[in-house]
Amino acid sequence: MTKVERIVEFLERMIAAPPASSASSAFDLITKTFVAVEEEMVSDDDPMFPPSGDFYYDIEGRDDLLLFRQAGHETIIRVNGAILIRNRKTKAVSLDKPGHDGKKVDL
Amino acid sequence: MTNTKDMQWMAAQLRERLPGVVVEVLKPSARSKTEGWTLDANYQDSYVVVQWTRSTGFGISAPRDTDLPFTEDVEYHEGADATLRRVVHLLVTGEGVSPSVTLQELRKRRSVSQEELAKVLRVSQASVSQTEQRDDILVSTLRAVIGALGGRLVVKALFDDGDVEIKVDNKEHVA
C-alpha cells in the first residue's frame, strides 16, 4: 500500500477509536494506531514518520496543550485527550478528535 | 556539536542570503528533556522544514500544501554547512527533496551504531565502515545490511509502462 493509503487507514482508525482520557493516552493511541497500520499493511514505498517525542514544543501561555511537529504537520494534544492534526502552513485539519469530556483542542 | 548554535546560525544565514525569507526556530520544550529542534523557512512560494536530533542529524523536508500527515519525504544531511546549502537551493528553486539515502544515513535513521550492525552481521566495525563508503556493493552484502537493519531488499527496474521486480542472485553486483 502507498503512504497515502496507509495514512487514510490510520486516520479512519483514529476517528473510530474511543476518546483518550489524557494527553499521554492520546499520544499512546496515535503511536499504537500508527504502528499497527504500518505492521499490518505492506508498504510499497518509503516509511512514514509519526509524531516523535523528540520534537515536542511548548505553546506559549497554554500549559494544557502539547505540540508535536513533523515536517509539514503539527499534532496538538490537549490534557483531556483531544487530538488535532493539521497542516502547519495551511491549517488544513486532518484529524480533530475530542477528548474524554467531548471537548476538542481549542486554539 | 550541533543544535542551538547550528540552528540559530542557519536561521541567520538564511536571512542574510535570502532577503525576505521568513524563518522560525522552535526550541525544545522547557518542560521536557527532548532535544529536537525545528526550523521553518518560507521564501516566496517555497517552504522548507529542517529538523535535528543527535541520532538522526539534519532532516530536510519541502512539504507541499496537499501533503497528508506523516507522509512527507525527508532527506538527511550531516553538518550545518551542507544542510544550509541544500535548504537555500530548495528555497530558491522550489524543488522537492530527494528521499534516497546512503547506507550510513539509513543506519543512523534506524538508530543503529556501526558496532551494533557489525555484531549482527558478525563482521568488524571497520568492515561496516568500509561497506558504507563503497561506491559499488554486492547485492548479497546490501541484502544482509538491510536485513540486519530490520528491512527487506527489493530491486526494481522502473519503466514508463510499469515497474518490474528483479530476482537477483547473491553473487551479482549492483551496477
When mean pLDDT is compared across A34-38, B67-71, B158-162, the lowest value belongs to B158-162
| Residues from chain B contacting residue A79 (CB–CB below 8 Å) | none
H helical segments located in chain A: 3-16, 23-40
When mean pLDDT is compared across A93-97, B3-7, B155-159, B168-172, the lowest value belongs to B168-172
User: Do the beta carbons of residue B118 and residue B144 sit within 8 Å?
Assistant: no
CA distance to partner chain A, nearest, from residue B42 (Å): 10
- State whether B36 and A49 contact (CB < 8 Å): no
DSSP summary character for residue B96: P
Kindly identify which residue of chain A lies nearest to residue B30, measuring between CA atoms.
A58
User: Do the beta carbons of residue A17 and residue A10 sit within 8 Å?
Assistant: no
- State whether B71 and A4 contact (CB < 8 Å): yes
Find residue B76's DSSP bridge partners: B59
Per-residue pLDDT at B112 exceeds 50: yes
CA distance to partner chain B, nearest, from residue A101 (Å): 25
The mean pLDDT of chain A is: 92
CA distance to partner chain B, nearest, from residue A103 (Å): 22
When mean pLDDT is compared across A38-42, B42-46, B96-100, the lowest value belongs to B96-100
Q: What is the pLDDT of residue B160?
A: 60
B20: cell is: 525576505
Per-residue pLDDT at B105 exceeds 80: no
User: Do the beta carbons of residue A1 and residue A44 sit within 8 Å?
Assistant: yes
Query: What integer is the mean pLDDT of A58-73?
Result: 92
- State whether B70 and A8 contact (CB < 8 Å): no
* Percent of chain B predicted with pLDDT > 70: 90
- State whether A55 and B31 contact (CB < 8 Å): no
What is the band of A38 on the pLDDT scale with cuts at 50, 70, 90?
confident
User: Do the beta carbons of residue A84 and residue A92 sit within 8 Å?
Assistant: no
Query: What integer is the mean pLDDT of B107-134?
Result: 90
Phi/psi for B57 (5° steps) reads: 75, -150
**pTM for the structure as a whole:** 0.71
| Residues from chain A contacting residue B40 (CB–CB below 8 Å) | 88
Query: What integer is the mean pLDDT of A70-80?
Result: 95
When mean pLDDT is compared across A64-78, B58-72, B102-116, the lowest value belongs to B102-116
Query: What integer is the mean pLDDT of A28-50?
Result: 84
Strand arrangement of the beta sheet that strand B75-77 belongs to: B22-26, B37-43, B46-53, B57-61, B75-77
Q: What is the pLDDT of residue B21?
A: 97
Q: What is the pLDDT of residue A102?
A: 97
What is the band of B173 on the pLDDT scale with cuts at 50, 70, 90?
very low
Total residues belonging to chain B: 175
Give burial (CB, 10 Å; 0-12/13-18/19+) of B123: middle
- Report the candidate in A63, A79, A66 with the shortest Cα–Cα distance to residue A20: A79
CA distance to partner chain A, nearest, from residue B56 (Å): 11
Which among B29, B51, B71 has the least Cβ separation from residue A48?
A: B71
Per-residue pLDDT at A45 exceeds 80: no
User: Do the beta carbons of residue B117 and residue B148 sit within 8 Å?
Assistant: yes
Query: What integer is the mean pLDDT of B152-162?
Result: 76
Kindly identify which residue of chain A lies nearest to residue B163, measuring between CA atoms.
A44
Over the stretch B11-41, which tens digit does the pLDDT of each residue have? 999 999 999 999 999 988 877 777 899 999 9
